[in-house]
Amino acid sequence: MNTTATISTREQQSPPPLSDTDIIRVAQSCSPIPTYLLSTASHPTLLSYLTARAQSTSPSRPVSDYTVSLLSLIALSPQFDSLSTLLSSLLRSYTQIFTSFGIPHDANSLKTIQFFHPLLPHVPITNLPQIVEPIVSFLPQIVDLEDAQILDLLPRCLNLIRNAEEIERGGHFVNSVIDKILEVNWSKGLVIKMVSIVRDFPVLDKTRAREFVDKVFVGMSRLDLQDLPSIVYQLLVLASKGFVKREVVEGIVMFFGSKMASKATSIVRQVEGTVLLHVNFAVKQDPTLGQEVMGLVRSDLRAFNHFTVAVLLSVSRVRKFGESSMGALKVALLTAYRDYKFAKDCKWIPNDMKEEHLQNVKIVEKAILRAVNESNCGREHIVPSILQLAFLLLESADEGSRQEACNLSGLLGIEELAVQMLRTLFEAHDMARNEIIEQCKFRILSLKPEQSMAIIRLLGSLVQIYPYPMLEHVSRLKELLDYFAFMHGKVAAHLVSVLLPLLKFSRDLQNYTILVMRKAMFRREDAIRLAATGAVIDLILAEKQSKRDDTLLFQESSSQASSSQQSEMRYSVGGCLFQELSGLLQRCLYQQANVKEVMYHGLMKLVLVDPSSGGAVFDFLLPHFLHFYKEDEDVHLRINCCVKSESGKVYIEEPLDCLLSCISWMLLLQPHGKTEHLENSWACLGFSLSQENEGGRNLSGDSFYTAFLKIRKSLRNQSLEGIFGQSQDSGSSSFEEDKRKCCAFVLSGIIEVVLNAIATELEKSTDRKKLDLEKELIEFVDLHDSLDKDAGISKQSTTIRRGNPRTTAHDMTNNTDSGQSKVTQGRLSFFATSSIYQILQTVLKLLNTDNSDNVATSQNHSQLTSKTTKCSAKMICFVLNASLNHIKSSSVLRNEDPLRTLIYGELKMLGPPLLKLIILLKSGPKMSDQKKKEAKGKKDVHGQRDHLHLALICLKELIMICSSTSHLTGLLEDMVSISTLQHADSNNESETILIIDDQHLRSKELFIVKTLKPLFSELLALSFFSEVEIISDMIMIIGCKLPCELSNSHGAWAVSVCKSNEILSSKVGKSIVRLAICLSSPPDDLIISQDLARELLQVIGSEGNEPVKVSEAYPVINHLTSAVLNSCVLHTIEEVIADMDWATKKLKTFSLVYQKMVHFSQNNEQSSELAFEENLYPRAGAVVKVLSSFVSMNLNDTQAEILLRLAARFYKHLAQMSKLRIAPKGCKQIFPSLKFQKLVEVTCKQLTNPLYVFVDIMQKKQQENANKKGIINKIKRENRCIPDLIYQIEDYEKYLIQLSKVCKVNLLKHAKRSTARDFRIFPKENATPSDEANHANSNAVENESAEDLNANDNEGDDDDRLEKILSAESNSPMVAEDSGSENEEVDGLPSPKRLKRNNRVVEDSDDEA
């Protein structure tokens, strides 16, 4: 029987109606579909049952049972039209009841909705929109997850509508529904539900997908913390399937890194740890997610936060991303530091951008430290990555950056940041301690010495802060010490010094260290023996210092240790380590001279730290000293015994001067009953002796004191021949001369030691005693001077020698042992700062200074005055050389070294007497009388000008040393207070200076205005050019530390000097021009450079224009100074182009951020970026104007080559800037700013076209000078730089053409087609056959065969066709809008022949490279 006929029959029979209970019973009994359901007339009754059940007191179960039963019956034959209609009506009714909260939203409702889901395809397609609309309207009412159950139906409904042909514009309806969903404010439940169902939605376009992700992350802030990991996991699953990966990854890291950053609770940390594990797992499944994370960090540093760091550290545990993830973190951190350092020093960058870079570094530091601090909160899997990153940063930090970090604005610096990371790991994770120590050991042994020092400083930090945990790793430290003899000397010495604090807790480690030092003393390498000697001294000093430490600190620390460590930690050092190691130190007395010096200075430190040990030290040194001192002889010192010879070479075996210096210092530290002056001498150095040393006398100390007095007396009474003695060795006169010079070198040091003792006594002596000491001082200075003359050491070499702490025997003679340089390299000064100060005061007194009227007029004084007049020149020369040596050698000792305070003290106290001496030398013995004594002045080595020059060098070095410390302000204030110099505009400037509130700035400004500028003017008037150059350097050193508003005034002053003085010295001219440019803030610096370049063009001349001798506007530019000033201006342009290199990289970063639309608050940031970009274009335009003058000059070959290379680099940056102006596909194109258009116009008019002419002239000169010597190498060099320049120019023009097309503006309307090329050959006219042969062999460029030339000619047809194509393109609307004529359109495009030749140029250049 036909089914349709059966149904029709049944309808005609009108089956009896069923109640809701009957329907439930039928569904449960699995009976066939009742005939009643097939009738459309039954639908209202069936729906009324649903409504009635919904109105009951507990509708959840009744509604669910009835609806599920009805759906189960419909599901038996859903293809019937009547049942599909019933299904549609039932779904609409149930949706209306659910959305109106007619039934509870619970498990029953969820079960019902799940029954609807598989039947949705049987709902009439035209009815689906009526079902979707109430669901969408219900979205604002959703509060929790149960309310969102109905949304399970939404994705399938939308997919059915989109794919249905019955519904017109179904896709448009779906998009409108999705837009409505995105417009609604999502509640907590809606967020969770949308994330779970979005994967079933129709495919979303990128815009709606991004909006969806934004809505999710906005709503996540309202979710409960326990819901976040599941949401993130679902988002990662979506991203792994290609659902806007970058936005998902970015949203996750920014949500937990920024929005959740303030909620730093333990629960939040645990949630973040779970999320990290989800990310790690997702990256393993889909590696592209890891690439998105690293790309996000690389694209913009603003995405850097603590969670980003944690994600990268977690991702690095995936083998594929181990190196790349670590590299991304390292590069981001180093880039932040470098950008800040550059921005801080760059004057043309806006201040708000400098502050932004500073904040970036602080954010990066805080992010890394927070990620490390939270590593123990459910994220222990990233601990190995943290350790790896920290050591990578330590290897990247060099000594220079470590010193610079101290001066940064509250920043840690790379090294300190890495050390803090490892300290945190060491404290928080026991499992990391073994690896940290093992890595330290491995890297100290494998890295370069400079990199190893950072690791050793880390080890020292761990020893200082965590001594008890470090005791567990003594075995590893002992293994490290085993390599002591194979390390670099500096590394070995520093390693022992950082382990010293640990030795007082471990006798085993101390004994092992001593054993290693004993072995090292027998090594052949000098550096290892030096390191071992220093380490032994440090061991002894550590013992002495530990005894003086507060025992309460030790007890308090030991209370924290475990009972198993008590015996190891509480041991008493016991005994005296100096006595135990005296045998080892005794061996040092038979080593080379440099080892002895280290030991002598170490013994000085020992007596300084513990004066009570002075007696033992004297007893130790006395037998050795007696080898070189004989009390029963007329000449007490046996200086000849200090010098030895081997294989015809002379070397110093015993540094007797260093030994006497150390003895004299130790005598000052020991009270002596015989002398009154020694009791008070130490007070003048700022030290006082402890009471424990005031009782008793030391026999060895008395012997040394007596010997020192006898030596001092004998040196006054003996002649040089008597002191040196007659040599017993036979040999050549050259050998004897070398030996005598070495002896003289040692003796000069001894004299300096005696002079230091005399100067120490001089300060506290009475007037009568003071005159005797001054007389003795003069005699020893005279002896020192005669010693230099006798040894054949000129004053010039003395000055150079004093520039180093000490000279070497090799410096005095070519036949001296070169190993002698090791004896004196890095040697300390024999003078104390107070001693030099006292000698300077004596010199000023002898030169009749302002306090000369206070000196008593006695007969002795009259005699002294007559003698000092003759000796004043020697005194000045000596004290200035000693001062220069002393100031320069102050950098030998570290700040924490106890000898630094002892010897160097307050260096700034030398400033005022040096300035007084400079003023006297400038104005004393009447400069005007020098012309009458010109012949005599040339013979006088100690001439007044030489002394002035040396004094200025001393002052410059002192300012340089103090500028890196906090003493500069005090030094300048002291010198300003005694300055009597006057400047023409000093009164007006002084009134302005008084307004300055900052004391540091005011002192710098006053010193420049009241001291340096007057000195500059007076010495320039006297044509003392070398001295003027030194003063210019001092103005530069101090002026660069001033803010722009103050330094600009000094730059304007330097410009006025350039305009008003014709200076014939090239060095002085260069120094003044550098002042004018460097002290002028942008844009004035390049404006000055433009003016100078124009004047240089007139003086140097150009093609067709004769040069002038002197510039009218800038007389400093003349025929003698033009070459140097030319190089000076080019160097300035090179620095600006280097700045542009950094600037273009930042523009690229900004462009990447704009392209990827990184979701940050970009309002303020975008404005700073635009300001940066707008500042860059005028600066590049100023460079164009400067270079335009140079391309017109008649430059020599070297300068021309430099110019070409600078121009190539400049065009490379211009091309990059033009490329970045072109918006990528899918982004909005921004119209070029007026400043950019002006830059393009100026470049085309003033630089590009003249550059082609410049290259053309250069090639003509090459052809004319083809036979000259050296022309081949020069042409080869130019053949490398000229093609590069042409390529960069055409690359720049290529991007301008592309930018012109997309912006509809002709940027190349001022450009002209070029014809000059680097490979163009200019044939000689009337060339002889021999000339042609020589010319053919002169250059590889001219080896081109005739076939190649013919091939190039045959390319003409193709070139014509290409030119027609380009001509057609030139008639496009984009060009026609702005071009003035058809010729301009053609000129605005590159020649097709040029494009082909350009390819050939690049290939040739690569071959040559």
pTM of the predicted model over 0.85: no
The single-letter code of the amino acid at 778 is I
Residues 1257 and 1280: their CA atoms lie apart, in Å, by 17
Residues 389 and 75: their CA atoms lie apart, in Å, by 62
**Percent of the chain clearing pLDDT 70 (strictly above):** 76
Q: What is the DSSP string of 319-358?
A: GGGHHHHHHHHHHHHHHHHHHHHHHHH-SSS-HHHHHHHH
Stretch 786-806: mean pLDDT, rounded? 46
The single-letter code of the amino acid at 786 is S
Between residues 1190 and 1312, the one the model is more confident about: 1190
Q: What are the b/e assignments for 539-552, b being 16+ CB within 10 Å?
A: bbbbbbeeeeeeee
- CB 742 within 8 Å of CB 735: no
pLDDT digits (tens, 9 = 90+) for 258-309: 877 677 678 888 888 888 888 889 888 888 888 888 888 887 777 788 888 8
- CB 1032 within 8 Å of CB 1078: no
Residues 1288 and 1260: their CA atoms lie apart, in Å, by 22
- Which value, in Å, is the radius of gyration of the alpha carbons in the chain? 44
Q: How many CA atoms lie within 13 A of 289 on its CB side?
A: 29
Tokens of 635: 């000449």
Confidence of residue 19 (pLDDT cuts 50, 70, 90): confident
Stretch 1015-1033: mean pLDDT, rounded? 91
**By mean pLDDT, which of 177-186, 558-567, 988-997 is the weakest?**
558-567
> Is pLDDT above 90 for 54?
no
Neighbours of 210 (CB within 10 A): 18
Sign of CA dihedral 401, 404, 405, 409: negative
Confidence of residue 116 (pLDDT cuts 50, 70, 90): confident
Tokens of 417: 């940041």
Residues near 921 by Cβ (< 8 Å), separated by ≥ 6? 876, 944, 947, 948, 951
pLDDT digits (tens, 9 = 90+) for 889-911: 888 888 888 888 888 888 899 99
Stretch 540-560: mean pLDDT, rounded? 62
Residue whose C-alpha is closest to residue 891's, from 947, 843, 963, 835? 963
> Is pLDDT above 60 for 863?
no
Sign of CA dihedral 953, 954, 956, 960: positive
- CB 412 within 8 Å of CB 350: no
Residue whose C-alpha is closest to residue 964's, from 1046, 886, 893, 891? 891
Residues 1179 and 1176: their CA atoms lie apart, in Å, by 5
**Percent of the chain clearing pLDDT 90 (strictly above):** 16
Residue 1211 is predicted with a pLDDT of 93
Cα angle: 403, vertex 405, 410; to 5 degrees: 145
Tokens of 1406: 């690569």
Tokens 């030790």 correspond to 554
Residues 442 and 873: their CA atoms lie apart, in Å, by 59
Burial class (CB in 10 A: 0-12, 13-18, 19+), 770: middle
> Is pLDDT above 70 for 1087?
yes
Residue 1371 is predicted with a pLDDT of 37
Q: How far is CA 467 from the centre of its chain?
A: 32
- CB 717 within 8 Å of CB 711: no
Neighbours of 231 (CB within 10 A): 21
Residue 722 is predicted with a pLDDT of 63
Tokens of 509: 């480690």
The single-letter code of the amino acid at 1338 is S
- CB 1283 within 8 Å of CB 1402: yes
Three-class secondary structure of residue 174 per DSSP: helix
- CB 456 within 8 Å of CB 418: no
Stretch 882-886: mean pLDDT, rounded? 91
Residues 541 and 87: their CA atoms lie apart, in Å, by 96
> Is pLDDT above 90 for 1089?
yes
> Is pLDDT above 70 for 724?
no
- CB 112 within 8 Å of CB 118: no
Residues 820 and 589: their CA atoms lie apart, in Å, by 17
Residue whose C-alpha is closest to residue 746's, from 705, 701, 784, 796? 784
Residues near 499 by Cβ (< 8 Å), separated by ≥ 6? 459, 460, 463, 477, 481, 509, 513
Question: Mean pLDDT score of the chain, rounded to an integer?
Answer: 77
Q: What are the b/e assignments for 1076-1110, b being 16+ CB within 10 Å?
A: bbbbbebbbbbbbbbbbbbbbbbbbbbeeeeeeeb
pLDDT digits (tens, 9 = 90+) for 95-112: 888 888 888 888 888 888
Residues near 459 by Cβ (< 8 Å), separated by ≥ 6? 440, 444, 495, 498, 499
Helix pair angle (128-138, 170-183), 10° resolution: 10
Tokens of 487: 């390390």
> Is pLDDT above 80 for 10?
no
Three-class secondary structure of residue 644 per DSSP: strand
Residues 797 and 741: their CA atoms lie apart, in Å, by 13
Residue 695 is predicted with a pLDDT of 40
Residue 1022 is predicted with a pLDDT of 87
Residues near 522 by Cβ (< 8 Å), separated by ≥ 6? none
Residue whose C-alpha is closest to residue 53's, from 106, 93, 111, 99? 93
Residues 1239 and 1252: their CA atoms lie apart, in Å, by 19
> Is pLDDT above 90 for 1125?
yes
pLDDT digits (tens, 9 = 90+) for 912-955: 999 999 988 887 654 444 444 444 444 453 478 888 999 999 99
Residue whose C-alpha is closest to residue 614's, from 758, 828, 834, 622? 622
> Is pLDDT above 90 for 1183?
yes
Confidence of residue 456 (pLDDT cuts 50, 70, 90): very high
pLDDT digits (tens, 9 = 90+) for 1101-1117: 887 788 899 999 999 99
Stretch 854-860: mean pLDDT, rounded? 42
Q: Which helix (H) or strand (E) holds 649?
A: strand 649-652
> Is pLDDT above 50 for 316?
yes
Before 1083, cis peptide (omega within 30)? yes
pLDDT digits (tens, 9 = 90+) for 1260-1282: 777 766 666 555 666 666 667 78
The single-letter code of the amino acid at 496 is V
